[in-house]
Chain A
Amino acid sequence: MRRRRPILVPLVVVLAVLAATSCAALDTIQQEAGKVETGVTKATSATASATKTARFVRKTFGDISEEEEYYIGRSVAAMILSRYKVYANDALTRYLNGVCAAVAVYSDRPEIFAGYHVLVLDSAEVNALAAPGGFIFLTRGLLKRCQDEDTLADILAHEIGHVCAKHGLQAIKKSRLVDAFRIIGEKAADRYGPSELAQLTDLFEDALADIAEKLIERGYDRKHEYEADELATVYAARMRYDGGGLIDFLGTMVDSDAGGADRGWFATHPKPEDRIKRVQGKVKVFRREKARTNRFKAALAGLK
């Protein structure tokens, strides 16, 4: 007769794992509870830390919530749109948003608070801008330099890379965030009072100015541009877009004066030849399907 294994063994194993997991959870909560603000009694045990007055201390851009990123991004987008006119072309805009939505799905942050969106700026300068929260802008001049959908997708993947890596939020000075998080942490009511709202709006405006300075005036740090290029090659490869499109586009920018020396691409991006050198060995080559190039040409046919 087959000997029955007692239930005790698997049960003990499962309970041991459960206990370990629970301990891990307790540790996590204890660690988090350790980050209570000054003035709140520091917890000495996990249960004692279960006080409703405890607040997590938020310090860096990484602690900005999805919803806050969205509200910051909305205002940065509005600031960009106060400098540029929109190129209104429904069919083109729908197509660009289709490419963007598809690339986003294969990025590291497919879902952000209100999704990714693209608009075309009515400018002959060659430029692309990605605000936090997924607000992406491409100029007419940039679109005219794209030969096919693969090139366009690679550029959008670069912009989505900036959003995924939160490069815009990283431009906010840390001291502003610390001050903002302190005011936010002190708020008890559902709505801010006049004084705290005024202080928070000051900090919000300063944070927007930090981002706008990087994004529009000076450009992201070189390391962020290179990082976005690398992310673009990864996202493009996941989708089986030809990563060589990015190199083609950058190639058109070498020795070019599109956009002028003081505005647009050249004011905000590292030298294209440096970027080509860095990504050349990393791009994955795929066949550029005719169906993609055809729909790209159809969508951009009327572009001025």
Chain B
Amino acid sequence: MKQPLRPAARAALCAACVVLLLAETVVVNVQTTALRKEPKFYAPALVVLKAGDRLEAIGSQDGWLRVRTAAGAVGWVHDSAVGSRAFALAAVDKSLQTKASADEVALAGKGFDKQVEDSFKARNRTISFVWVDRMLKIKTSSAELERFLREGKLAEFGGGR
């Protein structure tokens, strides 16, 4: 007669099932974002992520997703930076995964895009984009954000009522 599985093996098997349950693919839908060490916007960035990068979601906490990149890096991204939450359907039906991916790809680079903007610019030469491009270059780093919040006694560094 077969021996019952040891508790450790049981736990591992259950954990594997749970991981399979939670496995979800998300796609970065902002120009760039950071894979962060902790679920906070001022936490150090581990890797820079770009639009279209696919991530495996392995957990969540207060609007943040714990994810694994294709290269194996693990960290946190904010929920608002990702979209198209196609379930990782590999375990269920490979063809469906293909379908979801095909649609995401079909929509990803289409619509009102740079080509349309260039066409608009050609028709409206008096409208200047110089300041638009200039304002987009203004960035607030994670360290500056933390200092701003801390010095201003804001949010989790907050003052009294």
Contacts and interface: CB of A to CB of B under 8 A. Distances in A.
B128 to A, nearest CB: 6
Nearest to A70: B31
A5 B157 CA distance: 48
B18 interface: yes
A187 interface: yes
B13 A7 contact: yes
B13 A204 contact: no
Nearest to B14: A10
A97 B140 contact: yes
A25 interface: yes
B61 interface: no
Interface in A107-155: 108-115, 117-119, 135, 149
A285 B21 contact: no
Interface in B115-134: 115-117, 119-120, 123-124, 126-129, 131-132
Nearest to A296: B152
Nearest to A119: B135
A268 interface: no
B117 to A, nearest CB: 5
Given A111-B33, A197-B116, A102 B96 contact: no
Contact of A240 (B83, B107, B158): B158
Interface residues of B, number: 71
Interface stretch (A72-80, A222-230, A256-264, A270-278): A72-80
B27 to A, nearest CB: 11
Interface in B83-113: 83, 87, 89, 91-93, 95-96, 98-100, 102-103, 106-113
B152 A187 contact: no
A65 interface: yes
A6 B135 CA distance: 63
A102 B111 contact: no
Contact of B129 (A78, A110, A190): A78
A197 B115 contact: yes
Binding site secondary structure of chain A? helix
A94 interface: yes
Contact of B138 (A29, A97, A105, A149): A97
B10 A7 contact: yes
B148 A102 contact: yes
A279 interface: no
Interface string A148-168: 010000000000000000000
Nearest to A108: B80
A239 B127 contact: no
A22 to B, nearest CB: 5
A114 B31 contact: yes
A295 B149 CA distance: 12
A14 B103 contact: no
Interface in B28-56: 29-31, 33, 41, 51
